[in-house]
């Protein structure tokens, strides 16, 4: 597939995925969702990629939501299929073995916030506005917002955002734990890349398994989650990566991680 609405740039082991529809505030349409799904599939399987950063073109919007013109014409069957396509993309982001970081450089509304919620960590600029305004249009969030937002910030705050449709400011998003930090607009992408670089500097298999333990554990009881953690701890303990990490610590040197 030739990419029309998405840009992919490499900065060493960091891949930056940019939704490039600034004239539409980077709104999601079928083509953009298909391109993002392809990009995350390819990058997640690429041994030359250590982390993925998702952002939007311009300074106004990260992703302003779905294309309202398309949504206004949907019925029961195509509405469900639209939701399933968006959900498949958010699952591909969430289940990537690579750390995925959102650099929210403006509006993150509806499907845009749902894309950010699927990322592992989120940082935003001071002008960001984050919300799920779907009920204002007579619909509900369909790309995972009703499931991920309560898990992230708690049901009370999540339901307030979902049922009023009101967005929150960058400072409020930080206060309630919706984002990890607020960075000046000119420094946002650089700052997020710096966080990504720290993750890449750690053991790649350890990072992937730690992410898996945390992500899957959220869906389990505490006992089942602990069992999963023990299983993954056993797996990482059998790797050359573990041996190199321990040896480097004891020898007071930086580890040399093998990738691929």
For 38-95, the pLDDT digits (tens) are 999 999 999 999 999 999 999 899 999 877 777 777 778 888 998 999 999 999 999 9
Output the CA angle 127-55-2, nearest 5 degrees. 145
Q: What is the pLDDT of residue 157?
A: 98
On the question of a common fold for 6-200 and 204-250, the answer reads no
- For residue 217, what are its two tokens? 């554990």
Q: Examine the pLDDT at 259 and tell me if it is beyond 80.
A: no
Q: Indicate the length of the chain as a whole number.
A: 260
Q: Which among 126, 112, 140 is positioned nearest to 54, based on CA atoms?
A: 112
Annotated active-site positions, please? Answer: 114, 134
For 132-182, the pLDDT digits (tens) are 999 999 999 999 999 999 999 999 999 999 999 999 999 999 999 999 999
In the chain, domain spans: 6-200, 204-250
Evaluated on CA atoms 64, 69, 70, 75, the torsion sign reads positive
Q: pTM for the whole thing?
A: 0.95
- For residue 247, what are its two tokens? 């040896």
Classify domain 6-200 by CATH number: 3.90.226.10
Give residue 1's pLDDT band: very low, low, confident or very high (50, 70, 90): low
- For residue 3, what are its two tokens? 């990419």
Widest distance between CA atoms in the chain: 64
Classify domain 204-250 by CATH number: 1.10.12
Tokens 């699927």 belong to which residue?
118
Evaluated on CA atoms 34, 97, 59, 72, the torsion sign reads positive
Q: What is the pLDDT of residue 203?
A: 95
Q: Examine the pLDDT at 260 and tell me if it is beyond 70.
A: no
For 91-138, the pLDDT digits (tens) are 999 999 999 999 999 999 999 999 999 999 999 999 999 999 999 999
């Amino acid at each position: 597939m030739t990419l029309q609405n998405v840009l992919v740039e490499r900065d060493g082991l960091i891949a930056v995925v940019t939704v490039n529809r600034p004239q539409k505030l980077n709104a999601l349409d079928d083509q953009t969702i298909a391109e993002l799904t392809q990009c995350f599939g390819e990058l997640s399987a690429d041994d030359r990629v250590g982390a993925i950063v998702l952002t939007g073109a311009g300074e106004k919007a990260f992703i302003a939501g779905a294309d309202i013109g398309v949504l206004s014409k949907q019925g029961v069957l195509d509405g469900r299929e639209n939701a399933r396509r968006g959900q498949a993309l958010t699952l591909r982001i969430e289940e990537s073995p690579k750390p995925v970081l959102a650099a929210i450089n403006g509006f993150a509304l509806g499907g845009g916030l749902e894309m950010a919620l699927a990322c592992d960590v989120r940082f935003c600029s001071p002008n960001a506005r984050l919300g799920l305004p779907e009920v204002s249009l007579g619909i509900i969030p369909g790309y995972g917002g009703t499931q991920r937002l309560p898990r992230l910030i708690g049901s009370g705050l999540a339901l307030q955002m979902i049922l009023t449709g009101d967005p929150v400011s960058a400072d409020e998003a930080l206060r309630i734990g919706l984002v990890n930090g607020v960075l000046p607009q000119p420094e946002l992408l650089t700052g997020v890349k710096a966080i990504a670089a720290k993750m890449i500097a750690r053991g790649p298999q350890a990072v992937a398994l730690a992410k898996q333990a945390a992500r899957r554990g959220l869906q389990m009881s505490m006992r089942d989650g602990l069992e999963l953690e023990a299983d993954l701890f056993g797996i990482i303990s059998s790797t050359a990566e573990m041996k190199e990490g321990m040896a480097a610590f004891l020898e007071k040197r930086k580890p040399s991680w093998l990738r691929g």
